[in-house]
Amino acid sequence: MSKTVDAEDSQRGSESGSLARGGLASFGGAAISAVMGFALTFVLARGLGEAGSGVVLQATAIFAITVSIGKLGMDSAAIWLMPRLLVDARSEIRSAVNFLFAISAAAGILAGILISLVGPVVIGDSAVESRELGSSLVALGWAVPVAVLVLVALAAIRGLGKLLPYVAIGSIALPAARPIAVLLSLWFAGSALAAVWAWAAPLPFALVGALVLLGVQIRKLTAGTDRGRRKNWPSRERRSQILGFALPRTLSAGLEQSLLWLDLILVGALAGASAAGIYGGASRFIAAGLIVDTALRVVVSPQFSSLLHRGDIPGVQRLYGTAATWLVLFSTPIYIVLAIYAPTILGWLGPGFAAGSHVLVILSVGAVITFAAGNIHSVLLMSGRSGWAAFNKAIVLAVNVAGNLVLVPVMGIEGAALSWAASMMIDACMAAFEVHRFLGVNVDASAVAYGLLVPSMCVGIPAGVFRTFYGSHNWTLALSVALGGVLLAVWCRLDAHKLKLSDLRARPGRG
C-alpha cells in the first residue's frame, strides 16, 4: 500500500513539475508576446490614430480568421497526434508531418486567393477607410499560406515535446519583429497599407526557422527506428484518423478566431473605423491576462493528449485542477489592475482612446469569470471530441453576433464588450459540462474560488484604495502594482501547498 501511495505521489509530482517547468518557459514567451502586442498597438495608435489603427486592426482580424480556417485544423491535429506517435509509432512521425503540411499548404493557398479577391468586394469602397481596408486585404493574400505553414510547423514542434523552439519563434521572434517593422514602415510611408505589409513581412523568416528546427527534431526522434518501416506518406487509416480529427476542428478554429476578432470587425462596420480602433486598443490589453492562459495551454495540451491516450483520467483531473488554480491565481491580478486603472492605461495610447475605459472594465470582468473554468477547452479538444468543440463555437458565435447586432447600435463599443464577455462565459460553461459528462473531469470549485480570493485581497484592495483616495494616475498605478505584487508573493510563499505552488520546486524530470 505504501509503495502504491509513493508511486501516485511521484506521478503527481512529475505531472505538476513538468507543468511548472514548461509553464514558466511558456509564460516567459507569452509575456514577451503580450508586451510586443502592446508595443504594436502603441505604434499603430500613435502613428495612425484611432481611424488608421482601426483599419490595420480590422485587416489583421480578418487575416487571423482566414488563417484559422486555412489551417484546416492541421495544427490542432499535430498537437493531438504527435504525443501519441511518440508513445507507440515513432516511425510514422515524418509521414504524418508531410501529410499535415500538404493539406494545410493547399488550403492556405486557396484561402489566400479568396481573401484577396473576395475581401475587397464584400467590404465595398464607399468610404476612405473601407478602400484602405480592401487594399490591405489584397496585400495580405500572399501571407495567408505562409502563416498557415508557420502555425502547423510550430504545432508539430510543440506536439513532439520541444517547447523552447516553439516559444522562441512563435512567442518571441515573430511578435518582436512586427512592431519594429511597422514602426519603420510608418516612418518611411506613414500609411495603413504600409503598416499591413510590414506586419506580414516577418512571416517567411519565421517559416524557414520553424521548418529547419522541425526537420532536426524529426531526425533525432526517428534515428532509432527501423528504416524499412519509415514512409514519406501515411497509411490510409492514419490519413482518415487525421482528417477525422482535423475537419471538425477547422470549423471550431474558425469560429474560435471569429469569437476573438469578429466583434472588432462588426464594431468597424456598425460604428466606424475610429470606434474599431478604440475597441481594438482596449481589447489588446486583455491579451496581457491571456499570457497566463496561453502559457499553460501550450504546456498542458500535449500532456492532456498523452494522459488521455493512456486512459489516465485521474492524471488528467490532477493536471487540470493544478492548471486551473494557477490560471486564476496569476491572471486575475492583471485584470484587476486593468479594470481599476482603465482610464490611465488606455490614455497611454492617446487621448481619444480613453473613451474605451468602460470596455476595458467589462472585458476584464468577463475574462476573470471565464478563466474560472481553467483550460477546459484543451481537455475537451485533446480527448478527440473536436466535433463537440465546433458545435460549442457555433452556438457561442451566433450569440456573439446577435449580441453585437443588437447592442452595438444602442450602446456602442460597450455593447460589443458585453456581448464578448457573455459569449466567453457560455463557451466555458458548455465545455465544462461536456468534459464532466464525457470524461468525468470536474472543475474544482473550492480550489478555483481560493485562487480568485488571494489576488482579490492582495491586489484588489490596495489598488481600490489608491484609486479611490488618490485617483487614477500613473504613480498610483505603479504603487498599486508594487504593493499588490509584494503582498501576493508573500501570500503565495506562505500558502504554497494549498495553492499547489510547491510543485514549482519539483525536481526536473522528463517532459
The answer on pLDDT for 57 being more than 60 is yes
381: three-class secondary structure by DSSP: helix
Rg (CA), the chain: 23
Q: Copy the grid coordinates of residue 298.
A: 501550450
364 is a domain residue: yes
pLDDT tens, 443-458? 888 888 998 999 999 9
Give 419-423's long-range contacts (Cβ < 8 A, gap of 24+).
Answer: 419/263, 420/259, 420/263, 420/283, 420/363, 420/366, 421/362, 421/363, 421/365, 421/366, 421/367, 421/369, 421/370, 422/366, 423/259, 423/396, 423/397, 423/399
- Whether 1 is covered by a domain: the verdict is no
Confidence (pLDDT) at 506: 43
pTM passes above 0.85: no
Q: Tell me the three cell numbers of residue 140.
A: 495580405
Least confident interval from 31-45, 210-224, 406-420, 428-442: 31-45
Gap between the Cα atoms of 173 and 167, Å rounded: 9
**DSSP secondary structure string, 159-222?**
HTT-HHHHIIIIIIIHHHHHHHHHHHHHHHT-SHHHHHHHHHTTHHHHHHHHHHHHHHHHHHHT
Task: Assess if residue 2 is contained within a domain.
Answer: no
3 lies in some domain = no
* CA dihedral of 398, 420, 251, 294, whole degrees rounded to 10: -160
Whether the CB-CB separation of 376 and 439 falls below 8 Å is answered with no
Question: Within a domain: residue 209?
Answer: yes
Q: What is the pLDDT of residues 103-128, one digit of tens each?
A: 999 999 999 998 888 777 655 554 55
Instruction: Give domain status of residue 21, yes or no.
Output: yes
Q: Give the count of domains, the chain.
A: 1
pLDDT number for residue 485: 93
* Percent with pLDDT over 70 in the chain: 87
Task: Identify the weakest region by mean pLDDT among 12-21, 92-101, 473-482.
Answer: 12-21
What cell numbers appear for 262 in the block? 469578429
Q: Which domain holds residue 49?
A: 8-505
The answer to whether residue 454 sits within a structural domain is: yes
- Residue 230's pLDDT is what? 60
Whether the CB-CB separation of 360 and 346 falls below 8 Å is answered with yes
In a domain, 330, yes or no: yes
217-220: long-range pairs with CB below 8 Å, 24+: 217/157, 217/160, 217/162, 217/165, 218/93, 218/94, 218/97, 218/160
